[in-house]
Amino acid sequence: METLSYMIMIESSLQKVWNVLWGDETYGKWTQYFNPGSKVKSDWQIGGKTYFLNAEGNGLVSTIGSLQQPHYVVFKHLGVLKDGVEDTQSKEVKEWSGSFERYFLTEFGGKTKLYIEVQAEKQRREAMDAGFTKGLQTVKQLAEQV
């Protein structure tokens, strides 16, 4: 596993950037570069359940390790959801279970710095770099719309 980081400055309020990241209408727009049809379903509770799902309803099972909306959220990945069944115990899952995704938003005079750290397996680096590079440009475009 390696920790990858991404940063972008957005000319918009911190709250609007947060809403673009996690809103039902906008989440799938910026995450399409990872997986078309993506959705996030969360109870937004520390220790609760969060699901990062593809168009078929399969994906990651995660929890929130820490949260202060709209300033930061840290997701801890626990396993996978496939055909409605959660797997948090298989050998394949245990190799990366516990990896994190961290989102930090800081506002400076009407602009927001979005900084993201993600733990990923080395062979996923290229896909993560491409997805976040394109995805963050989409977050910027959506958040800067009037």
**pLDDT class for 79, splitting at 50, 70, 90?**
very high
Domain count, the chain: 1
**pLDDT class for 74, splitting at 50, 70, 90?**
very high
Domain residues for the domain of 108 are: 2-144
CATH code of the domain containing 124? 3.30.530.20
Strand duo 111-120 + 100-108: pairing? antiparallel
The residue type at 145: Q
Q: What is the pTM of this model?
A: 0.93
Q: What is the pLDDT of residues 36-72, one digit of tens each?
A: 999 999 999 999 999 999 999 999 999 999 999 999 9
Query: What pLDDT was estimated at residue 121?
Result: 86
DSSP per-residue string spanning 14-62: HHHHHHHHH-TTTHHHHHTTTSTT-EEEE---BTS-EEEE-TTS-EEEE
Tokens coding 29: 């727009």
